[in-house]
Amino acid sequence: QPFTGLYADKHPRPYALSIGMCFTLTGLLVLAFAEYYWAILIAVSVVGFGSSVFHPTASRVTQLASGGKKSLAQSIFQVGGNGGSALGPLLAALIVLPYGQHSISWFAIAAMLAALIMVRLGAWYKAKLQYVVNHPQKTVGLNNNISKRAKYGALAILILLVFSKYFYTSCITSYFTFFLIDKFGVSVKASQLFLFVFLAAFAIGTVAGGMLGDKFGRKYVIWFSILGAAPFALAMPYVNLTWTIICCFLSGLIIASAFSSIVVYATDLMPDKVGMIAGIFFGLMFGLGGLGSAFFGWLADKTSIEYIFQVSSLLPLLGIIAGFLPNTQKTKNIVAKDTGKKG
């Protein structure tokens, strides 16, 4: 994703959105009829490549369409993915399990419709690019006094925060059902429904975080989101089933609010490299999620499912380092002072 994002910054391709969805469509069809393990790996790789083409350009389009409310626009864009992730376990339980592997091909209809819609959106993006070329835009409301060293330091902090966020969420999304079955003896179907609670909270928190980021400042939303989830994450491995679901919901709701603010904060640091920065953080989101799932699976084999939840609950405490992030947005006092000088 960073490489396709860098290419999108230098050579914008309005119809890359539709091309990305075509890769997803192809991957779903291959997955639906794959009979061998290597064919499954190829299928999911094709889906992943479609994602890498889609996300950096989609983030550029999102910021162009934001009307200045960049965090809200980014969160609305991301909630589509989060909503799909939330519905995934339900659709697997309701469609794939009873009707078999071939039923995955039914979801290709959604990918086909998305590819067609993206053609229309690509035409809008092409016109918008031409307008921006003829009418250069000035960055308004950004703090331009951040040194290059401070920018790279801030990016390093954001990477650590993304690590803590997605290692924690990968533990929940991959092993929460096993945790509930192992500790409380719930059925497989019930565990899928309880996982949906977390994923739905994640989708809701994504939109809420975007709204709060534009209103109160992205730095503070990032800080609250990661660190604020810590009390509920720490309590979850030690409480009864009812409180486990409540803590799961609240931790998902709070920790989800960070990512849109993280992406927009990072692009505010380097506004001329929106595609590359978005590609880096979307790549980290998927990559760290995969690594986290593999790591916790290995650790669970060595210890127990309950132990990995006790370990992962410490990760949100890393949110404390968000306090070292510089402010990328000008404060109202600074804007007022600048306005006074112009007067």
Per-residue confidence band for 153, with pLDDT thresholds at 50, 70 and 90: very high
> What is the mean predicted confidence (pLDDT) over 332-341?
42
170 touches 288 (CB < 8 A): yes
Per residue in 95-139, pLDDT (tens digit) is: 888 888 888 889 889 889 999 999 999 999 888 888 766 665 555
Up-side HSE of residue 251: CA atoms within 13 Å toward CB?
A: 29
Q: Is residue 334 part of a domain?
A: no
185 inside domain? yes
- Interval 308-323: pLDDT, tens: 999 999 999 999 998 8
| Residue whose tokens read 């989708």 | 203
Tokens of 314: 């410490």
Q: Give 129-167 as a DSSP string.
A: HHHHHHSPPPP-SB-----HHHHHHHHHHHHHHHHHHHH
For residue 341, the model assigns a pLDDT of 45
Average pLDDT in the 257-277 region?
Answer: 86
- Residue 83 has a pLDDT of 73
Q: What's the length of the chain?
A: 343
The predicted model gives 185-205 an average pLDDT of: 87
Q: Is residue 331 part of a domain?
A: no
How far apart, in Å, are the Cα atoms of 60 and each of 112, 125, 266, 269, 329?
Answer: 22, 9, 13, 15, 19
Give the pLDDT confidence score for residue 206 in this predicted structure: 84
Number of domains in the chain: 1
Q: What is the mean pLDDT of residues 48-59?
A: 88
| Domain-located, residue 210 | yes
Task: Report pLDDT for 140.
Answer: 54
Residue-wise pLDDT for 199-247, tens only, equals 888 888 888 888 888 888 888 889 898 889 999 999 999 999 999 999 9
Structural domain contains residue 30: yes
Q: Which residues share a beta bridge with 65?
A: none
pLDDT at residue 337, rounded to an integer:
42
**Cβ neighbours of residue 298 closer than 8 Å, sequence gap 6 or more:** none
| Residues in CB range of 277: below 8 A, 6 or more apart | 5, 263, 266, 267, 269, 270
**Each residue of 272-302: pLDDT tens digit?**
888 888 888 888 888 888 899 999 999 999 9
Is the residue at 17 inside a domain? yes
In a domain, 336, yes or no: no
Q: Which of 9, 325, 263, 311 is nearest to 164 (CA)?
A: 311
Share of the chain above pLDDT 70, in %: 92
The residue written with tokens 């819609």 in the block is: 117
Domain holding 117, by residue range, is 2-136+145-325
Question: What one-character DSSP code corresponds to residue 329?
Answer: B
Q: What angle do CA 71, 52, 220 make, to 5 degrees?
A: 25
- pLDDT the model gives residue 331: 52
61 lies in a domain?
yes
What pLDDT, on a 0 to 100 scale, did the predictor assign at position 26?
94
pLDDT confidence bin for 248, thresholds 50/70/90: very high
Q: Give residue-wise pLDDT tens across range 82-95.
A: 777 777 777 877 88
Can you give the CATH number for the domain in which 7 is found? 1.20.1250.20
3-state DSSP of 27-69: HHHHHHHCCCHHHHHHHHHHHHHHHHHHHHHHHHHHHHCCCCC
Q: Is the pLDDT of residue 338 over 70?
A: no
The pLDDT assigned to 218 comes to: 85
The lowest-confidence range among 31-40, 93-102, 142-151, 248-257 is 142-151
Give the model's confidence band at 339: pLDDT under 50 very low, under 70 low, under 90 confident, else very high: very low
